[in-house]
Chain A
Amino acid sequence: MNLLLEISNGALAITAAITGVFLVFAALLIARLISPRSFSVKKSEPYECGIPTRGQSMIQFKAGYYIFAILFLIFDVETVFLYPWAVVTRSMGPQSLAVIGVFLFILVLGLAYAWRKGALKWS
């Protein structure tokens, strides 16, 4: 049940999201109305502590992050599977331990493999 019993959670979530969008929109509107404007060529250069940017900034970037992103995907999906299990652990009793033990064993094996292969090393 929620705050006002007639409103569904979906509607409330959308209300909250619209509130967020409205906050940004309203603040930007006020800022546009009262903030000063001036134009100069130099001002629109990227900042970078006074040094002009060399080449493109939207470049392909360090592969180290990519490996961590893949690892994250695996373990995040794992967390999603763990949630329903966690809810029923108390009612299932010791049986649930055996169920999740197999699941976690395979996953930890995967982590150990990645670790051994050096995927966790930052280079």
Chain B
Amino acid sequence: MFDFDIVTSWFNGLLTGFMPQWAATLIECVVIGVIVLLVYALLALFYILYERKLCAWFQCRLGPMRVGRWGVLQVFADMFKILIKELICLKGTDKFLFKLAPYIVITSSVTMLACLPWGKGLQIIDYNIGIFFILAVSSVGILGILLAGWSSNNKYTLIGAMRSGAQMVSYELSLGLAMITIVCLAGTMNITEIVAEQDKAWFLFRGHIPAIIAFVIYLIAATAETNRGPFDLPEAEHELTAGYHTEYSGIHFGFFYLAEYLNLFIVSGIASLMFLGGWMPLHIPGLDGFNNVMNFIPGPVWFLAKAFFISYVIIWFKWTFPRIRIDQMLSFEWKYLMPIALANLVLMACFVAFGWHF
């Protein structure tokens, strides 16, 4: 595998060659910021097209076709359109909180994006408590949604935000427990080390039964966490018009839209890192020739392919299952998903303690 540390240390050496350390660090921070911004924007554009095309195909339609070949330029047209819409701040809204909410939502998703490693040495934030940091930052995003609904001076948005808050905090537990199951198997919270542990085989295979249960729990909880699929009651159109972002217009609305798609990528990315080996190629113990061939495919390709596959599954959920009610949603989490996740954690602990895993 190509190690990106070579590139970064070369760049660092180049800069420190003719300028003091603090200036080099500053420039590196700016470069990182620009890269993150570009990746964020490109991923959001890609995801908008991905979702629109997929949902069209699920409904036997063609999706956007007119602007550019296969409708590829449609997203740029949409982006431009949303930029030239008027920003309206309604009567009676809490103006400060109303304008603060998009900042919180976007900042939390950008910070989470910066935590994901894309390849060997190709990561930005790399805490030794990485998984925990991601969960902590994702909880901050909920605050932005609650603020958006509260400050809009509209009862629909208030109900939407409350539902969203209840849903996201509830499903965060199952999400966290599914992650702990893998942390238990890996013995570390550092994301880079978790990926490195999967050199021989992915955790989905190494941890077999409990890992597969944890993966299913993670997928369900992630769908709820991103307010999608059968769990999209925060924005149930037929009862709440559009949920917590009803009163936002123009690019203000665009931020929530952007963050929603990026959160879809982030939960898929975390699933691919924790269960499917992240940027680690598919390795089968014993088949050295096969493993060597797989090593030729670059890490970022593996990571993105896995993340897009999991996003595909989550988008598929949306077009397969009908929306559920709030009481069903909460009782599903508290009476089924979380107890199962807890029991699964104990199962995994037994597997790890007695060495029944691979």
Contact A3-B21, Cβ < 8 Å, known A27-B83, A61-B162, A86-B184: no
* Contact present for A16 and B111 (CB under 8 Å): yes
Q: Are B33 and A122 in contact (CB under 8 A)?
A: no
Taking CB as reference atom, which chain A residue is nearest B334?
A: A120
Interface residues of B in 164-223 (CB under 8 A from A): 165-166, 169-170, 172-173, 176-177, 180-181, 183-185, 187-189
Q: Mark B145-169, 1 if CB is under 8 A from A, else 0.
A: 0000010111110100010011001
Q: Are A120 and B37 in contact (CB under 8 A)?
A: no
* CA–CA, A96 and B124, complex, Å: 33
List residues of chain B with CB within 8 A of the CB of A28.
87, 251-252
Contacts of B165 in A (CB 8 A): 65
B189 touches A31 (CB 8 A): no
- CB-CB under 8 A from A102, the residues of chain B are none
CA distance A87 to B126 in the complex (A): 17
Instruction: Give the distance in Å from the alpha carbon of A47 to the alpha carbon of B156 in the complex.
Output: 9
- With contacts A7-B29, A89-B349, A120-B330 known, is A24 near B106, CB below 8 A? yes
Name, among B176, B184, B346, the residue most crowded by chain A CB atoms within 10 Å (CB to CB): B184
Residue from A16, A31, A47, A82 within 8 A of B180 (CB atoms): A82
Tell whether, in the assembled complex, residue A87 and residue B162 are in contact, meaning their CB atoms are under 8 Å apart.
Answer: no
* Cβ contact of B166, chosen from A3, A53, A65, cutoff 8 A: A65
- Which residues of B from 70 to 104 have beta carbons under 8 Å from A? 83-92, 94, 102-103
Per the bound structure, the CA–CA distance linking A97 and B345 in Å amounts to 11
Residue among A2, A34, A43 making CB contact with B125, cutoff 8 Å: A2
CA distance A23 to B153 in the complex (A): 26
Determine if A48 and B154 form an interchain contact, defined as CB atoms under 8 angstroms apart.
Answer: yes
Residue of B nearest to A38 (CB): B86
Tell me the residues in window 339-358 of chain B with beta carbons closer than 8 Å to chain A beta carbons.
339, 342, 345-346, 349-350, 352-354
Residues of A in contact (CB 8 Å), total 74
Contacts of A106 in B (CB 8 A): none
Q: Are A87 and B86 in contact (CB under 8 A)?
A: no
B338 within 8 A of A: yes
User: Which one of B103, B173, B250 lies within 8 Å of A21 (CB-CB)?
Assistant: B103
B90, A44: Cβ atoms closer than 8 Å? yes
B contact residues, range: 35 or more
**Complex contact B103–A36 (CB within 8 A):** no
Find the A residue at minimum CB distance from B247.
A47
CB distance from A73 to the nearest CB of B (A): 9
Of the candidates A45, A71, A104, the one whose C-beta lies within 8 Å of that of B334 is A71
Interface residues of A in 44-58 (CB under 8 A from B): 44-49, 53, 57-58
With A3-B8, A17-B110, A48-B154 as known contacts, state yes or no: A31 contacts B83, CB within 8 Å: yes
Interface residues of A in 92-123 (CB under 8 A from B): 92-94, 96-97, 100-101, 104, 108, 111, 115, 120-122
Q: What is the bound-complex CA distance between A11 and B125, given in angstroms?
A: 9
* A31–B126 CB distance below 8 A: no
Chain A residues within 8 Å of B, Cβ to Cβ: 1-7, 9, 11-13, 15-24, 27-28, 30-32, 34-38, 43-49, 53, 57-59, 61-62, 65, 68-69, 71-72, 75-76, 79, 82-83, 86-94, 96-97, 100-101, 104, 108, 111, 115, 120-122
A–B pairs, 8, beta carbons within 8 Å:
A3-B121, A47-B156, A53-B92, A68-B166, A79-B173, A87-B183, A91-B187, A121-B327
Q: Top 8 closest A-B pairs, CB basis? A: A20-B107, A122-B327, A20-B110, A16-B114, A44-B91, A86-B184, A90-B187, A31-B251
Which residues of B are interface residues toward A (Cβ below 8 A)? 8-9, 11-12, 21, 24-25, 28-29, 32-33, 36-37, 40, 83-92, 94, 102-103, 106-111, 113-114, 121-127, 129, 131-133, 150, 152-156, 158, 162, 165-166, 169-170, 172-173, 176-177, 180-181, 183-185, 187-189, 241, 246-247, 250-252, 254-255, 326-327, 330-331, 334-335, 338-339, 342, 345-346, 349-350, 352-354
Additional A-B contacts beyond A24-B255, A61-B158 (18; CB < 8 A): A3-B122, A7-B25, A15-B124, A16-B32, A16-B33, A44-B89, A47-B90, A57-B154, A57-B155, A57-B158, A62-B162, A65-B166, A79-B180, A82-B345, A91-B187, A92-B353, A100-B346, A108-B339
